[in-house]
Structures are given as C-alpha cells and as structure tokens.
Amino acid sequence: MKSTFKYYGPAILWALFVLILCAIPISVREGEGLFFAGFDKMVHCIFFFVLSVLYCTGSIRKWHTRNIRIEIAMKNTVVLLSYGALIEVLQSRVFTWRSGDWHDLLADTIGASMGIFAVLVTGNAINSNK
C-alpha cells in the first residue's frame, strides 16, 4: 500500500477531490449549466484530464519507463473509465441530489483520452531529444 501511494498518491488525492466535488449538491436546473450550458461536461472533462495525467505519471514512475507503454495506457483507460462510471452510478443511486448522466461519462472518457494522449505526445517529444 505504501508503494502504491508513493507512485499514485497525487492521482489518488485528485480522485478523492473529484469524488467530493461530484457529491456536493449544486442548485442548478437540469439542462442548464452553472455559468453556461455544458459547463458540467467541461468540468468532467478537465477533472479526468488531470486525473489521467497524474495516473499515467504514476505508472511511468512505477514501471521506470521513459514513456507510457500501450499496455499501461490501456490499463489506465480501463481504470479511469471504471472510476467515471462509478461516479455516475453513485450520482444516480447514492447522491440523490445529483443525477447520473451518460454525457458526463462521455466527457470523462474524452478527458481521460486527452490526458493519455498528452502524456504520450509529451513523453515522445522529451525522449526524441535524448
């Protein structure tokens, strides 16, 4: 457990932060955003982009690689999408003041994919100069 937190500590803390924010009641009517329509989807995308980058960085550190390998990227994708689905289920079943939404899960998927892609591109750019 200690070694897991050593590598994935920032990602775990960010995931808890995301869970807390997704559980807080917000007084916004269905179909409207806090600031504009679609704001909620943008926030989900950003949350999962950051979570993805932190999780991939932990994987790179744990496996001592210079860049994220495809099998690690696939595993990370499954973990992140499962976490996004868990949040949506919790929002629809447990946090009854919130609503689970397939579009939120899609935004989570897009954010996670963007984060993995950003880590791949950044890793390749850094390693091509060496």
pLDDT 10s digits, 115-130: 999 999 999 888 887 6
Neighbours of 82 (CB within 10 A): 10
Which residue's entry shows tokens 């897009």?
110
Domain ranges (residues) in the chain: 2-128
Burial label for 25, CB within 10 Å (0-12, 13-18, 19+), is: exposed
pLDDT 10s digits, 25-48: 877 666 566 677 778 899 999 999
pLDDT 10s digits, 50-109: 999 999 999 999 988 888 888 999 999 999 999 999 999 999 888 887 878 899 999 999
The span from the CA of 26 to the CA of 21, in Å, is 10
Average pLDDT on 13-20 reads 97
